[in-house]
Amino acid sequence: MGIDVRNEIRDFLSSRRARLTPDEVGMPSFGGGVRRVPGLRRHEVAMLAGVSVDYYTRLERGSLKGVSDSVLEGLAGALQLDEDERVHLFDLARLANAGVKVMHRNVPTRVRPGVQRLLDAITGAPAWVRNERGDVVATNELGRALYAPMFAGPGRPVNTARFTFLDPAARDFFPDWAATAREAVAVLRAAAVANPCEPGLVTLVGELSTRSEEFRGWWAAHDVRVHRRGGKRITHPIVGELQLDFEALELVADPGLTMFTYSAEPGSESERSLALLGTWAATERSERLAAVRAGEVEQDD
């Protein structure tokens, strides 16, 4: 699976057009007649974007090469794109102009020692680092404990999307599984255009498309998302339900890597459960170290 640029542009623009109605964009009386398909018509989008119908038709057929930023901004406004979708549109335009080989970059698979030391210094909150295809490349003790079912799975590298779609434990771990899964697809869709033909991402998308009907359906929706902050509800096998907030921090010195930190509302049951999870993780570590010293198990890598 590679990126077919024209198809990506066509499907993205047509899917954004299909989700809007004339009432939503303030033109209820335009067009007239019975609508055979949902969403806006091309001439309505063209009018909103300030371009000719013929020009918009050419754009929606997959030709963004040479399109000015002002036209792209007009399209973003006409289609009511959010910030993530707007960035995606501009990525598609850059892809059309530069080509996949120019935009391709390697995905980091490990962190620098200084980043790991920073993670280890965060003792009161789960924290981990992942790359843009969702591989978890580093974590602190509490982060590993929080996502214990994901780390217990057989797949390596540990990958958030693979766990979500292919590990049965994920559906119990994420009470809001469908929303979590759709968001994972949207994150991968954005990454696939931002860094096209990256071998690991191509392989991952191919694997998930082959093995998960739900992934295939949501991938075809062309939704895009970039994680910056949000909430996460988890049913942990040790401490039960946790309602957490997360912040995503891009590592400026390490392009392609993002650190996620989790916290609970002060004084909440989730905060107490998170503290209990930290105690459990510390106990597990102590017991394992004792077993290693006794020669009963091998030391983790």
81 and 210, same domain (yes or no): no
88 and 120, same domain (yes or no): no
174 and 45, same domain (yes or no): no
Within a domain: residue 299? no
Within a domain: residue 39? yes
Phi, psi for 74 (deg, rounded to 5): -65, -40
61 and 174, same domain (yes or no): no
Model pLDDT for residues 162-183, shown as the tens digit of each residue:
999 999 999 999 999 999 999 9
Phi, psi for 279 (deg, rounded to 5): -65, -45
**pLDDT on residue 1:** 46
Number of structural domains found in the chain: 2
Last residue of a domain, one of 71, 103, 135: 103
List of the chain residues with pLDDT < 70: 1-2, 28-37, 99-104, 291-292, 296-301
Type and span of the H or E element at 127? strand 127-131
89 and 128, same domain (yes or no): no
Model pLDDT for residues 252-261, shown as the tens digit of each residue:
999 889 999 9
- Domain with 77, as residue range(s), is 5-103
54 and 181, same domain (yes or no): no
Instruction: Name the 3-class secondary structure at 218.
Output: helix
Q: Token digits for 8? A: 């990506």
DSSP string computed for 241-295? EEEEEEEEEE-TTSTTEEEEEEE--TTSHHHHHHHHHHHHHHHHHHHHHHHHHTT
Within a domain: residue 153? yes
Q: Provide the CATH number for the domain around residue 88.
A: 1.10.260.40
275 and 146, same domain (yes or no): yes
Distances in Å between the Cα of 175 and the Cα atoms of 118, 159, 241 are 31, 19, 9
**pLDDT on residue 104:** 66
Within a domain: residue 300? no
120 and 198, same domain (yes or no): yes
Q: Token digits for 41? A: 């018509």
